[in-house]
Structure 1
Amino acid sequence: MKMSSAVEQSLVVLVMLELQKDHAPVKSYLLSDRLQVSESYLKKTMRKLVVAGIVDAIASKEGGFKLARPIANITLLDVYQAIEGDGSFIHSTQLADRIFLNQKSDKPVEDVQEVLNVTINDVLTTFSEAEQDFKKRLKSYTIANLLQHVNVDEFGKIDWRQSID
């Protein structure tokens, strides 16, 4: 399984928005400058977070992006699925069927097919169970958990809208 860098960027953006002074909206060009990514790429990522109801896009002179709900109600699974999609990441191409059913063998095709079906089912079941465990774990961890060791009052709020030195 491979996860895009947009998931990590999204997590950082969500923490930035939580730490934003007065929870004021932050413009995409400021976020992209801080993250050192292209603004067009970040806008695509932010659009996915908006569609998922994780952030709000405020269209005005003082607008930008802000959290749509409390960070205790945003899980890693919410972010992962917003960016990567909520479908399964397990896909079989039936390669084993194409390879082993087209070989000359002493065994009847039906016997080979039966063995393949059982074996492929075992593998897909194992991957499916692992995927469910992965998603269950992501669902149990919130953005608030990311900040559990940060005393925001002591750490202080940050105004990301200030210029970068």
Structure 2
Amino acid sequence: MFDNFNLELFGHLMLSNPPSPILRDFQRQKLYRFEEARLQMHPSNQHLSLPECTALARKYNPRIKVKDGRGRRHAGASFQDNLITLPRWSRQTVIVLHEIAHTLVDDRKYPHHGAEFVGVLFALLNQESIGTIPELCEAANQSKLRYDRNWIYRYPHQTRRSARL
């Protein structure tokens, strides 16, 4: 019955590069609440101009593209395009660091706001003196926010000096 079966007939059904599985962003809202409650009012969270945002972003990701996000409702980032877009209201240290972290964590392999992302974000916050690693980890534990300690030290710009984990 299947003597003349040919896979080429069904080639259009087989994807040579199947799409990545959709990863559940299980702690997005929890992270946003954490940032609002614990980080937004920090004295080192400064309002920045677009050139200052670009300088901050390139400190951690030298090839990043920073776009003016006027006309957009939300700040955004793309790992694939190595791009962050910042509406005027979002140009503050904490939000810029959040968007930079998105360009450093592959969202095709890890949830957008998963433990890996939070680890990288904590490292960036520590570098900009918006809390020490132990303080951020303790606050995250109190908020039941997951973070991956291994990702805190993943990038060369980050230091272990302030951490005692």
Please give the TM-score of this superposition, normalised by the length of structure 1: 0.24
User: Higher helix proportion, which one?
Assistant: 1
**Higher relative contact order (CA closer than 8 Å, sequence separation 6+):** 1
Please give the TM-score of this superposition, normalised by the length of structure 2: 0.24
Q: Rg larger in 1 or in 2?
A: 1
